[in-house]
Structure 1
Amino acid sequence: MPVNADRLWRRIEALSRITDPDRPWTRRSFSPRFLEGRRWLEAEFRASGLETSIDAGGNLLGRLPGIVPDLKPIVIGSHSDTVPSGGRYDGILGVLAGLEVAQGLVERGVGLRHSLEVYDFLAEEPSEFGLSCIGSRALAGALSPEMLELKRPDGMSLRDGLRFVGGRPEELSSARRQPGDIAAYVELHIEQGRVLESEGAAIGIVTDIVGIRRERITITGRADHAGATPMALRADALVGAARLIEEVHARALRLSGGEKPLVATIGNINVTPNAANAVPGEVEMILEVRSGDEGVFSTFGDEVVSGLRSHLADLRLSVRSELISHVPPTPCAQAIRGAIGKAAADLRLSFRDLPSGAGHDGMFVARTGPIGMIFVPCLDGRSHAPEESIEPSQAADGARVLAETVRHLDMVVE
């Protein structure tokens, strides 16, 4: 199943150029710029011969009917939204490679036994509603009524946000796939790390997607005048926060080795009253922990907080934590991993197994059927940054492996 590498690259460049001009490469979900990209993408789907629709969860779906109508579909998917100032290839490579596979079948008049579905999932990246993977959550039936009431800073609810992008929040059940409804899901993505590039491997076969846990940790002291309050009498919440951040870093370092390494990040901090002449009275932080080891990463935050509680009390501080979200590690199906390996070998491309340290829509799609992921290298492992970069040949290699994987799965799965 050859792919048109030039056409694939032209499309990648065209979609990436639909960006906020002052912040390349930015196309945030639920924004006018995102809808502009969606309109372009939907037109490309339709012109390529796919049956096109927006489902109730706000996902763009292109469908190519199969020869055997009762078989479950093979699904290719990824996302077209970006983080701020990043994402020129993150997400869109997988969507456009899926489109290229489908269009190649149409152009050659080749029919698969299974229907082929290509998804552009809504809002895989963290949205302004504080939620990621919104479209794939809808597909898996994991978009709850409470989530629909989440609000972004301008007051819009996620319920209204779905309507803004063409979804139908009152009909979410129509977008849901039950367990076993999908024959196989395959996603092509840039690695967002340095393993493939450093080892000179062309293709990564993802073994599992790490679990991601986010907790809100709040340290409370007392706000006082910065000039009139002696050091020995202060209850400085930011001092306690600094101690906690240091402990998160040290503990994560100790757990970062081994087959399933752990990483932990505090990337969001709010200080109150946040004034140069006031002792900080409260600090709110978000701790994110990722690992393929459920037992280790699910207790990380509690262990940090409990280990520091008495020390913080000595500083006249209290600490509390609350769970924001928890997505367990997601293994990739051995049958799909085998199909990817066979495809890479047949194409004489070097490959290796590796875990995904980033989250993907596959974490939720896995609730509906077996999943697999294909990685290609990216320059210096950079992603979620303006410097994110891949070569046209790397995009083409990934698309070729994707096409051959789909062809093999069509013959062996039911």
Structure 2
Amino acid sequence: MAGEQLTSSPVVRASAARTAVRVAAIYVTARIVTTLFLFAATELSSFTSRMGADARLGDTVVAWDGTWYWLVAVSGYPTRLPLTDSGQVAENAWAFLPIYPWLAEAVSAPFGLWQTGALIVSLVAGYAASVALYYLLRMRLDESATLWAVVFFANGPLAALFHVGYAEALNLFWLFCALLAVARRRYAWLYVLIPLMAFTRPGVLAFALFLALFGIWRWFRRAREPLRGPEIAHIVAAGLLAAIAGFAWQFIAGWVTGVPDAYLATELAWRRNWVLGDATFTPLEPFLAGVSYWFETMWHLPLALGYALVGGGLVLIAVALIALPQVRRLGIEIRLWSASYLVYLLLVFFPQSSIFRLLVPLSPLWGAFAVPRSRAWRLGVLVACLVGQWWWIYNMYALGSTNWQVP
């Protein structure tokens, strides 16, 4: 049976209630630590910081992109694109998708502050994502490794995203549920989850690629796990839905503003913070431009060295996804998703300090770090997570004054 093939670990399963409580204990403890880190960052914030010398803990919720999500909630999207003095499209709300800010606005109604609603949505979504991640990894790992993976996720270097007005936590919940639906072959859920992902955070095109690769993998192993007509139809239909949904926001922005490339022009407005002049887009061009910017312009190193280091890193990642035993233990769904998402970033992303945040959808890979049973190893990973978390919070919130301190 497919269910037996999908489960490589034995098992006496914990009840849903017990799982919810155990994950909650991990998550609440982690959130206390992150709150202390964020509080310390506000105390260390100075007049040169993005938040200023009189920063308060609540200011972290609407710092950086949190302000844009707030503007979407209270002002909506512009029907006329704002322009810079040189006539180029300026930064504007079309770069931010609507589900998170509107949901936060609805939740904030009893409290009167959007920040409160945003904090509640991020915290609750982060917990829900932790539970979904538990069930996703538990299909392949034992109880101990699964819980440790949740510990790493809840305490990870980017754990502050569970506290601030960003859409990542909510999107991770949709994503983990979608991966779980595929892993359990319950494809009907995808018709709900894919549109939710598409209008929460950019990146659903990576899920379309994932479904295409997953469908090919299922075809080649159909002798071991029968591939019937309804499953083929679901994979193809869901993949097409993800592809259509991935471009939907661009069409909506173009229709509302009357400017066909309104969304792309808006996204390119942010790149001008790093690269002066006209920014253009073709697949892979932003990534290559980013390598040139950092190695030649910023670090004054040979461009060839940049290409060599980046190429070598990509080869190592590919080898890890294909051959590393700890990663193989996680199952084909997580491995194909990770590869698909990395290809997506390679094709569309201009590498800068936000890369750390954009790598968060690879969080199921925390399971590979939890596979080794050594307590010293697991504690070491946790310490590294907490050190990385403080480093990120300190740079992005206490400082936040240079081009590599943008979350």
Answer yes or no: same fold by TM over 0.5.
Answer: no
Higher helix share: 2
Structure-1-length-normalised TM-score? 0.32
Higher strand share: 1
Structure-2-length-normalised TM-score? 0.32
Determine which structure has more spread, i.e. the larger CA radius of gyration.
Answer: 1
